[in-house]
């Protein structure tokens, strides 16, 4: 099947369909609503063929879609019927989940998204656990989302921000028994050197993850049901 991936961010919305070579984007805004998103996506993707949609949402997501309104967009996302609006099957997941899926290479992986705040997810054997590690407290008492997000980088400077990131990354990796950590998000490019057992993800993680979200894999000789990506709600 052909998949359309929609990655919703605070500054831009990026989309890419199966078989397309270049993503498209349009500006996001603090007054962007779910119905407006549908109109803009359908206009931007009108010449693309797609059967299903993966939508990365910047907030908490449950079985029926967003559980909480986004802090940097308009309102009306909770309870919105994306499948009915698109007239196609839609899978909505947290934006960190899309990036984590896109960069997963086996084993148990912890994803940390370094952007406005701290996105996070744990992946193991095709099971994805969305996390809110940004709510944990740093030793100074501030939330990790503030310390390791854009606010912390600006307030403390790159050197001190890198030291805090290295400390927190190793602590979280050990606490969650992860084999490795994948860094994504806009500020991942500032991380040099990388902490131990840590990798930097490419810029197309969300698109790869969106395609994987609908992926089924099964060996010809295997009689078990198809193995699909499962996101724990």
Query: What integer pLDDT is reported at residue 225 of this predicted model?
Result: 52
pLDDT value of position 226: 54
Indicate the angle between helix axes 205-212 and 95-103, nearest 10 degrees. Answer: 90
Report pLDDT digits (tens) over 87-112. 999 999 999 999 999 999 999 999 99
Q: Which of 90, 99, 138, 143 is nearest to 122 (CA)?
A: 99
Mean pLDDT value across the chain: 92
Band of residue 55 on the pLDDT scale cut at 50, 70, 90: very high
Q: Region 192-200: what's the mean pLDDT? A: 95
Share of the chain above pLDDT 90, in %: 82
> Which domains, and CATH codes, for the chain?
3-97 (3.30.420.40), 105-201 (3.30.420.40)
């Amino acid at each position: 099947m052909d998949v359309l991936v929609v990655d919703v961010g605070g500054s831009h919305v990026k989309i890419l369909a199966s078989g397309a070579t270049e993503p498209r984007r349009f500006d996001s805004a603090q007054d962007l609503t779910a119905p407006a998103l549908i109109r803009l996506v359908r206009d931007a993707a009108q010449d693309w063929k797609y059967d299903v949609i993966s939508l990365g949402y910047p907030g908490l997501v449950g079985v029926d879609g967003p559980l909480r309104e986004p802090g940097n967009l308009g309102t009306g996302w909770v309870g919105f019927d994306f499948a009915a609006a698109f007239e196609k099957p839609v899978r909505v997941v947290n934006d960190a989940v899309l990036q984590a899926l896109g960069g997963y290479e086996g084993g148990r992986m912890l994803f940390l998204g370094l952007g406005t705040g701290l996105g996070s997810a744990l992946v193991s054997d095709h099971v994805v656990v969305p996390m809110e590690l940004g709510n944990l407290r740093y030793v100074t008492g501030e939330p990790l989302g503030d310390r390791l997000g854009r606010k912390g980088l600006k307030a403390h400077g790159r050197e001190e921000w890198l030291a805090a990131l290295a400390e927190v990354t190793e602590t979280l990796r050990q606490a969650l028994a992860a084999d490795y950590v994948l860094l994504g998000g806009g500020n991942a490019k500032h991380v040099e050197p990388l902490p131990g057992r840590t990798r930097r993800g490419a810029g197309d993680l969300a698109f790869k993850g969106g395609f994987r979200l609908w992926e089924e894999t099964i060996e010809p000789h295997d009689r078990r049901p198809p193995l699909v990506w499962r996101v724990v709600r």
